[in-house]
Structure 1
């Protein structure tokens, strides 16, 4: 079946752990915005949720920092953070090792990536799941793009990764939802924590919803670090989803709300799922093999 949903959202720990510290109007804006995102996801009826996120030294550290990594397990556990601090109870999240393996076997022809049979979820995945699949009833394939420690993968490579990920997911028999999650502007753990650059955020979201490849790839890391903080490096996860959408019709911003109590500008946006050309499979010898379109005229 392939991809049936494409979207992005924020994932900061403050969105659950400090939810009570925000004004009531801010809380309601976030709850309503994420509820819209959840409704869109439920309409798509995914069998599999592929989450492109940026983890925070929960699984990878300086002795092993892959640019791209995928989980390949039938179960995961999270959150790795303190449950009381994050306000999300620790639980087992279902995976799908066979689907993960199929995605990986496609990707390795185009992307050098790591894969892991053990993966602890931190807030980068658990906060989105808390709002979108609170019953944890959709199997997850976790994907990590290194946004923690330089050298960072170039944005052009994140775009190419998103394209390859779409092709791999379209080859699956399941209905697949692709979700990118990260911050836009935020300065976690620094003296500027709580700062939000709303102008930067809204301009990025404008470029994203327009699916303007050139504009999205025009960001330099120096600019992002200056204007959006080191948390802004996570735009790579969001750029990958724009690439997976393949261009064409514009996306839709469901909401954006800047709340200092959450230390981030909260957002959710979706892209239409459009055909990206003929599906492709890979031969055992390597290389692409065209897959006939079952709906094409004979």
Structure 2
């Protein structure tokens, strides 16, 4: 069976790129330490493919026909899309795709009762994929990328429990449908607390973020599902905080594993709480 060799999650806030040099030293350290550790362990794990669950921000689908999960099956994933280039402030990239895994994921998840959509063309990537790809320099490696853009914006979107169901199906798909010698990495791109364009635009819910990181790194899925409801996410920041739902399929797929965090910053000008987790796949709770 294929093996999950890497699992991590972190925010993709564009300001951690565009405003990094203006951030206080302690906030810079959190960003540096988090993405440096993710990069180091991703390279060391040597996955053949990295499946990234990220959030779609109304760039790829109409509101009246909005898929909960959209898989990118392109040969190459280029970004950021020109509309977002100046806003994000990151460099251009071209990451290798994996159409075979993307199409197998679509078929395998459908058989397991998880309906996803699939597109062969290059999707319009904003910070969702652009930040993690450029922060880890994924495009300079031989690791292939399969992006899965997740609806956390247009209601009714998948809640925490549904995202866990998706993760359980993902685990079964990896174990039974992919080549036996394939090495798979998983990454959740989204969060933490923020309210884009809302009344809390510069207000970070530090209490939510720290508790979310604690539960995620602790591997206590029962507590995570009990406490981290969509209602609590919306309380922490409408229209943005629910991006953390992209972490849930990753956590469900690996089971109750402990993880490591690399600090936290709620610097207001990032307009998003920042902190990440890498899970230890060698240990079970």
> Contact 1:124–1:181 (CA<8 Å) still a contact in 2?
yes
Shift of 1:274: 5.4
Using a 3 Å threshold, how does the CA distance of structure 1 residues 49 and 268 change in structure 2: closer, same or farther?
same
TM-score (norm 2): 0.90
More helix by share: 2
Q: Report how many residues are paired.
A: 275
User: Which of 228, 232, 246 in structure 2 is aligned with 1:223?
Assistant: 232
Structure 2: distance between partners of 1:169 and 1:125: 22
Q: How does 1:195-274 map onto structure 2 within 5 Å? A: 195-218=203-226, 219-247=228-256, 249-273=257-281
User: Which of 85, 89, 104 in structure 1 is aligned with 2:87?
Assistant: 85
For the pair 1:130 / 2:134, whether they are aligned, the reply is yes
Structure 2: distance between partners of 1:244 and 1:256: 25
Shift of 1:220: 3.1
Match of 2:152 in 1: 147
Using a 3 Å threshold, how does the CA distance of structure 1 residues 68 and 125 change in structure 2: closer, same or farther?
same
Shift of 1:61: 2.7
Structure 2: distance between partners of 1:155 and 1:161: 10
Match of 1:167 in 2: 172
Structure 2: distance between partners of 1:161 and 1:254: 27
Structure 2: distance between partners of 1:151 and 1:202: 27
Using a 3 Å threshold, how does the CA distance of structure 1 residues 245 and 274 change in structure 2: closer, same or farther?
farther
TM-score (norm 1): 0.86
SS at match of 2:266: strand
SS at match of 1:125: helix
Structure 2: distance between partners of 1:255 and 1:39: 17
RMSD after superposition: 1.9
Shift of 1:134: 4.8
Offset from partner CA, 1:239-284 (integer Å, 9 cap, x none): 111101112x4222233222212111111211122599xxxxxxxx
What are the ranges of 5 or more consecutive residues in structure 1 without an aligned counterpart? Answer: 277-298
Using a 3 Å threshold, how does the CA distance of structure 1 residues 96 and 135 change in structure 2: closer, same or farther?
closer
